[in-house]
């Protein structure tokens, strides 16, 4: 059972957490409760808990200081931070201590339970991953079958002319197929490989390569379906033999491999499958597999592509390139107009059509697609440059967009970067034309007024008004003098006052009507906002009347 320490200088918070969370059901046990930072640190040093749930601002020692001390002493306690304010500096510091969760007050028990579950799952996954890593590291030191892999590499690159020589080598290396068998070659490649090399480093990539090969081999062994070997960095070749009925198992095997890799190290793999050939002509199937896997540019990461699917798609009737190019030119002009008007919803809709047109498999070459995106991004950025305004966020997104267009391996990876930049520029113009942002603030208030009884989030509100959470928070605070969360609480409390004054509803029912999961927490929030409990407020109002 996982151990937990709770820390908050507000005893009501720790009491609610201790009494209301189904700890046993979560596989957890509270081993200590602290009302200040120093006591929290002492409890952590004594019990070395799996999880620490702590308020950030506490007497003697802040929750962040406690977390930093645990990190410094290499105590692997998962930190869940609680804060009464939405401060991005706190969020940044939470990243520094690798916090497992960041919860804003007022606390929602459902949210706390969700964060605790994620922390528990992370702990369990880290334990399992550590066991796997230890086993894989041990296997890494074992001798690899270099001669066998060299023979197989020559077989798929060049093929074999002599039947006798081929049969002799198949037997010598104890390979699971005979010269009389038909085989199919598949090629698997790690997605975003170059990006991972730059981000992770060579040593980490070598570990990834070993892990991928190991998982593929284990899966093949479980199905008794074939063999796997590596010809070069980021190329894993799988050979299936007809003897094992591989055609029925192939997709099941590859889907299982892809899921295992995502669960284990968040590694995405794309796989190309060649055609069925004799062992002597394995090189022909290999070439087809390489051609198939290259089509992930159109289909996206984590794809399984059979060479026959590509051949079949080539027979589909296509719209002429001339018509496509004309529509793309028209869309590009419309996009630039709507961007300058600051019409984000229209920009999003037009870009979706632009992207959809470019992403049709086999319709355009990779070079043409990259060129069209580059042209769109450069033209959009030129509009800002001509205003002679220095827009730091736009310039940053511009550089990221250019890099992504040139480097990414699939068209789907280009989309978010370009879309973000176009919307960023449209946001700039929207703000320029609407300096007071009155319309935006009124839309936010109207949405909150309609949905404040629900557990609405900043992300949900931002999506409703087609802006980023950061942007709407800044605008709302500047125009109204209060945060969006403060406005939501104000709406809830005003509605609570009306129900207390005009109805005989129970406090519990009022709490539920306002979207609170815990009536005690509603009472706590009400008192914090108005200085008296709901019952005290009802009694006071009755006396006045």
Residue 397 tokens, joined: 């997104």
Q: Are residues 369 and 514 in the same domain?
A: no
Q: In this predicted structure, what is the pLDDT of residue 122?
A: 93
Average pLDDT for 200-209: 84
**Residue that finishes a domain, picked among 402, 431, 460:** 431
Omega before 106 within 30 of 0, i.e. cis: yes
Give percent of the chain above pLDDT 70: 89
Q: Are residues 164 and 209 in the same domain?
A: yes
CATH of the domain at 525: 1.10.10.60
Question: Is residue 141 in some structural domain?
Answer: no
Q: In this predicted structure, what is the pLDDT of residue 144?
A: 47
* pLDDT tens figures, 285-338: 999 898 888 888 777 788 888 888 775 444 333 444 556 777 888 888 888 878
Q: In this predicted structure, what is the pLDDT of residue 113?
A: 95
Q: Are residues 104 and 177 in the same domain?
A: no
Q: How many angstroms from the chain centroid is the CA of residue 469?
A: 17
SS3 104: strand
Question: Is residue 27 in some structural domain?
Answer: yes
Q: Are residues 457 and 425 in the same domain?
A: no
Check residues 95 and 346 and name the one with the higher pLDDT: 346
Average pLDDT of the chain to the nearest whole number? 84
Q: In this predicted structure, what is the pLDDT of residue 516?
A: 85
Residue-range definition of the domain harbouring residue 351 = 321-431
The β-bridge relationship of strands 101-104 and 269-278 is unpaired
Question: Is residue 59 in some structural domain?
Answer: yes
Q: Are residues 47 and 159 in the same domain?
A: no
What is the number of structural domains in the chain?
4
pTM of the model: 0.44
Q: Are residues 296 and 248 in the same domain?
A: yes
DSSP string, 34-57: ESSHHHHHHHHHHH--SEEEEESS
Cα–Cα distances in angstroms (integers) from residue 439 to residues 445, 473, 475, 497, in the given order: 10, 14, 11, 28
Average pLDDT for 150-171: 84
Question: Is residue 351 in some structural domain?
Answer: yes
Helix (H) or strand (E) holding 305: strand 304-306
pLDDT of 13 > 80? The answer is yes
- Report the C-alpha gap between 345 and 276 in whole angstroms: 49
**Residue that finishes a domain, picked among 371, 399, 431:** 431
The β-bridge relationship of strands 182-190 and 269-278 is antiparallel
pLDDT of 15 > 80? The answer is yes
Q: Are residues 358 and 384 in the same domain?
A: yes
The β-bridge relationship of strands 28-34 and 2-7 is parallel
CATH of the domain at 31: 3.40.50.2300
Q: Are residues 126 and 244 in the same domain?
A: no
Q: Are residues 305 and 333 in the same domain?
A: no
Q: In this predicted structure, what is the pLDDT of residue 12?
A: 93
The β-bridge relationship of strands 182-190 and 235-241 is antiparallel
pLDDT of 97 > 80? The answer is no
pLDDT of 52 > 90? The answer is yes
Contact 1, 30 (CB under 8 A): no
Token pair 């966020």 in the structure block, residue: 393
* pLDDT tens figures, 470-512: 878 877 887 788 999 999 989 999 999 999 989 889 999 998 8
Q: Are residues 132 and 207 in the same domain?
A: no
Q: What is the DSSP letter of 343?
A: -
CATH of the domain at 256: 3.30.70.270
Q: In this predicted structure, what is the pLDDT of residue 315?
A: 39
Question: Is residue 124 in some structural domain?
Answer: yes
Rounded to 10 deg, the angle between the 11-20 and 519-530 helix axes is 170
* pLDDT tens figures, 264-273: 778 888 999 9
- Report the C-alpha gap between 479 and 475 in whole angstroms: 6
Average pLDDT for 241-260: 76
Q: Are residues 132 and 16 in the same domain?
A: yes
Q: Are residues 15 and 98 in the same domain?
A: yes
**Residue that finishes a domain, picked among 136, 165, 200:** 136
């Amino acid at each position: 059972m996982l151990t937990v320490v709770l820390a908050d200088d507000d005893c009501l918070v720790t009491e609610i957490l201790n009494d209301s969370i189904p700890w046993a059901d979560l596989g957890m046990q509270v081993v200590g409760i602290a009302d200040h930072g120093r006591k929290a640190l002492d409890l952590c040093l004594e019990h070395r808990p799996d999880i620490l749930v702590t308020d950030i601002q506490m007497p003697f020692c802040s929750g962040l200081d406690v977390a930093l001390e645990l990190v410094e002493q290499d105590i692997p306690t998962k930190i869940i931070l609680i804060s009464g304010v939405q401060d991005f500096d706190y969020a940044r510091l939470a990243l520094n201590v690798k916090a497992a969760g960041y919860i804003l007050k007022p606390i929602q028990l459902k949210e706390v339970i969700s964060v605790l579950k994620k922390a528990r799952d992370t702990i369990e996954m880290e334990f399992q991953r550590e066991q796997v890593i230890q086993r894989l590291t041990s296997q890494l030191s074992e001798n690899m079958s270099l001669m066998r892999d060299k023979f197989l590499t020559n077989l798929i690159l060049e093929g074999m002319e002599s039947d006798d020589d081929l049969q002799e080598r198949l037997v010598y290396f104890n390979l699971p197929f005979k010269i009389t068998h038909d085989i199919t070659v598949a090629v698997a490649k790690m997605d975003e490989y170059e990006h991972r090399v730059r981000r992770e480093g060579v040593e980490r990539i070598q570990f990834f390569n070993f892990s991928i090969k190991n998982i593929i081999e284990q899966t093949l062994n479980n199905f008794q379906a074939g063999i796997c070997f590596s010809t070069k960095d980021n190329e894993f070749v799988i050979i299936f033999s007809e003897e094992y009925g591989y055609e029925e198992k192939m997709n099941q095997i590859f889907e299982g491999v892809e899921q295992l890799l995502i669960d284990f190290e968040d590694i995405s793999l794309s796989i190309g499958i060649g055609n069925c050939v004799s062992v002597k002509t394995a090189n022909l199937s290999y070439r087809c597999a390489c051609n198939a896997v290259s089509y992930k540019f159109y289909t996206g990461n984590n794809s399984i592509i059979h060479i026959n699917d590509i051949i079949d798609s080539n027979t589909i009737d296509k719209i002429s390139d001339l018509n496509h190019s004309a529509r793309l030119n028209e869309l590009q002009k419309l996009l630039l107009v709507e961007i300058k008007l600051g019409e984000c919803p229209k920009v999003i809709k037009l870009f979706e059509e632009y992207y959809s047109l470019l992403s049709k498999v086999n319709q355009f070459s990779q070079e043409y697609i990259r060129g069209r995106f580059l042209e769109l991004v450069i033209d959009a950025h030129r509009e800002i440059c001509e205003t002679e305004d220095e827009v730091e966020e736009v310039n940053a997104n511009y550089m990221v967009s250019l890099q992504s267009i040139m480097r990414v391996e699939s068209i789907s990876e280009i989309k978010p970067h370009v879309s973000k930049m176009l919307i960023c520029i449209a946001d700039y113009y929207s703000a320029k034309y609407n300096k007071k942002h009155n319309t935006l603030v009124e839309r936010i208030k109207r949405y909150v007024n309609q949905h404040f009884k629900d557990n609405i989030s900043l992300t949900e509100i931002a999506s409703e008004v087609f802006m980023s959470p950061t942007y709407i928070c800044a605008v709302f605070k500047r125009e109204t003098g209060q945060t969006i969360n403060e406005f939501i609480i104000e709406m809830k409390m005003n509605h609570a006052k009306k129900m207390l004054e005009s109805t005989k509803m129970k406090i519990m029912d009022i709490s539920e009507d306002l979207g609170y999961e815990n009536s005690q927490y509603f009472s706590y929030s009400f008192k914090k906002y108005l200085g008296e409990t709901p019952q005290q407020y009802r009694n006071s109002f009755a006396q006045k009347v």
